[in-house]
């Protein structure tokens, strides 16, 4: 488990002024995607407390937590949303869930229970167009569906 000490981030970064359509059109390009807050965090351009990272993913605390434990497991490559994961990348999804499970244990919510959420597209309310998994726990979350 690698820990990087980083600074906070201005809330103005959260809802960066770019249309979802434009973000969804962006593809991974080798250089830092300046319009993507998660790409800029990975690149070290925006500081954030990285709780975990490996070659494929990293995890941070959500800046606006919806539960006592609210982590984001984020891919290191820029994939705009779950629906854009291709066949070659499908292993990444299992890895994200595996990392989330490990973090749930580490955060002490594995026994009490937790929820993994991937918002995908406009109707889901997806705010950041870079694939990420929410890990929510530490309280009764209420029923879904
Ligand atoms: P989603 O609606 O699934 O796209 O979720 C995006 C999440 O990213 C939201 O819950 C935001 O609170 C969170 N978020 C946005 N900017 C940051 C940031 N700089 N650090 C941590 N979390 C962030
Ligand atoms: Zn990105």
pLDDT tens for the 145 residues of the chain, in order: 343 333 333 333 334 333 333 333 344 445 688 899 999 999 999 999 999 999 999 999 999 999 999 999 999 999 999 999 999 999 999 999 999 999 999 999 999 999 999 999 999 999 999 999 999 999 999 998 7
Taking the CA of 136 as reference, the closest ligand is 1
- Residue 33 alpha carbon to ligand 2 centre in Å: 6
CATH code 3.30.428.10 for 11-137? yes
User: In a 3-state reduction of DSSP, which class is residue 129?
Assistant: coil
Cα gap 94→108, rounded to integer Å: 21
Residue 48 near ligand 1, beta carbon < 6 Å: yes
- Residue 69 alpha carbon to ligand 1 centre in Å: 14
Tell me if 4 sits within 8 A of 49, measured CB to CB.
Answer: yes
Predicted model pTM: 0.82
Residue 47 near ligand 1, beta carbon < 6 Å: no
Cα gap 145→24, rounded to integer Å: 27
Beta strands in 38-113 (DSSP E): 50-53, 57-61, 69-75
Tell me if 59 sits within 8 A of 69, measured CB to CB.
Answer: no
Delimit the domains of the chain by residue range: 11-137
- Residue 98 alpha carbon to ligand 1 centre in Å: 21
């Amino acid at each position: 488990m690698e820990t990087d000490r980083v600074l906070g981030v201005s809330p103005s970064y959260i809802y960066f002024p770019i249309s979802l359509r434009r973000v969804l059109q962006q593809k991974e390009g080798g250089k830092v995607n300046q319009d993507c807050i998660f790409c800029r965090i990975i690149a070290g351009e925006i500081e954030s407390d990285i709780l975990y990272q490996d070659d494929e993913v990293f995890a941070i605390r959500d800046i606006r937590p919806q539960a006592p434990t609210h982590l984001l497991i984020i891919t290191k490559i820029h994939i705009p949303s779950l629906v854009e994961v291709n066949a070659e990348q499908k292993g990444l999804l299992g890895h994200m869930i595996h990392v989330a499970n490990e973090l749930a244990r580490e955060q002490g919510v594995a026994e009490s229970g937790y929820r993994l959420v991937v918002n995908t597209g406009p109707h889901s309310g997806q705010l950041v167009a870079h694939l990420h998994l929410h890990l929510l726990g530490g309280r009764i979350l209420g029923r879904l569906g």
